[in-house]
């Protein structure tokens, strides 16, 4: 019998707690209603206008004067300036020749994976980004900068690339791929 009394007492206490919480919610609703009424009763204040947009004034960079900010200024750099400015007789890539397959890839995405020779002929094996291995000989081209293979050794392939100098001329730059690297 005492367990029935405890159970009834527990039910009564739970009911009292629920009623207390519900009245508290009603009080909060009244507070919320008063706050909303107070906000609506305030006089309307105008929203300040959006500030005017300032007109953009572009900076004109004249790259024809001064030092090229993208070239190293040491005398021992691997870049050799051959003919600055537009010149018909200066170095320039051959735009009339048919581009080779490996010229559609950046040089740093190609990897030298080996070399082989037969008689006096020597080739370097180059892996493209798709994983295909290509046989390249001296005089072949690869890389997007008109890179022509100039020398092949067992652990390195050397190229000469043409880089536009920004004034209509071209710079000749040495580049290389080492075995197992880029």
28, β-bridge pairs: none
Whether residues 35 and 106 fall in one domain: no
Could you read off the pLDDT of 50-105 as tens digits, one per residue? Answer: 888 888 777 776 666 666 666 665 544 444 444 444 556 678 888 888 999 999 99
Q: Is residue 151 part of a domain?
A: yes
Q: What is the pLDDT of residues 108-141, one digit of tens each?
A: 899 999 998 888 889 999 999 999 999 999 999 9
Domain span at 5: 1-43
Is residue 50 a part of any domain in this protein? no
Q: How far is it, in rounded angstroms, from Cα 8 to Cα 145?
A: 90
Same domain, 38 and 97: no
Are residues 33 and 91 both part of a single domain?
A: no
| Residue 57 lies inside a defined structural domain of this protein | no
Edge-to-edge strand list for the sheet holding 170-178 = 79-80, 170-178, 156-164, 147-153, 141-142
The count of structural domains within the chain is 2
Q: How many CB atoms lie within 10 A of CB 102?
A: 20
* Assigned domain for 69 exists: no
- Domain membership of residue 51 (yes or no) is no
Do 39 and 110 fall within a single domain?
no
pLDDT score of 176 more than 70:
yes
| Residues 6 or more apart whose Cβ sits within 8 Å of residue 182 | 107, 108, 109, 110, 111
Q: Tell me: the pLDDT tens digits for 140-166?
A: 999 999 999 999 999 999 999 988 887
Please report whether residue 130 resides in a domain.
yes
Residue 117 belongs to domain with CATH number: 2.30.30.830
Q: Are residues 171 and 90 in the same domain?
A: yes
3-state secondary structure the chain: CHHHHHHHHHHHHHHHHHHHHHHHHHHHHHHHHHHHHHHHHCCCCCCCCCCCCCCCCCCCCCCCCCCCCCCCCCCCCCEECCCCCCCCCCCCCCCCCCCCHHHHCCHHHCEEEEEEEECCEEEEEEECCCCCEEEEECCCEECCCCEEEEEEECCEEEEEEEEECCCCCEEEEEEEEEECCC
Residue 80 lies in a domain: no
What local confidence, expressed as pLDDT, does residue 68 receive? 65
174 in the same domain as 116 = yes
pTM assigned to the model: 0.51
Q: Does residue 73 belong to any structural domain of this protein?
A: no
């Amino acid at each position: 019998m005492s367990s029935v009394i405890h159970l009834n007492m527990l039910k009564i206490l739970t009911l009292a707690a629920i009623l207390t919480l519900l009245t508290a919610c009603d009080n909060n609703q009244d507070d919320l209603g008063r706050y909303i009424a107070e906000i609506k009763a305030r006089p309307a204040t105008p929203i300040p206008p959006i500030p005017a947009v300032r007109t953009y004034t572009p900076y004109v960079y004249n790259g024809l004067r001064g030092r090229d900010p993208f070239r190293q200024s040491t005398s021992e750099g691997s870049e050799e300036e051959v003919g600055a400015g537009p010149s018909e007789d200066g170095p320039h890539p051959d735009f009339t020749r048919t581009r080779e397959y490996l010229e559609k890839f950046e040089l740093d995405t190609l990897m030298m994976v080996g070399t082989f020779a037969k008689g006096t002929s020597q080739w370097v094996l180059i892996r493209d980004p798709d994983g295909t291995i290509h046989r390249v000989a001296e005089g072949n081209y690869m890389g997007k900068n008109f890179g022509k293979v100039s020398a092949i050794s067992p652990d390195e392939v050397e190229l000469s690339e043409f880089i536009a100098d920004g004034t209509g001329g071209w710079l000749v730059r040495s580049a290389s791929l080492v075995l197992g690297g880029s």
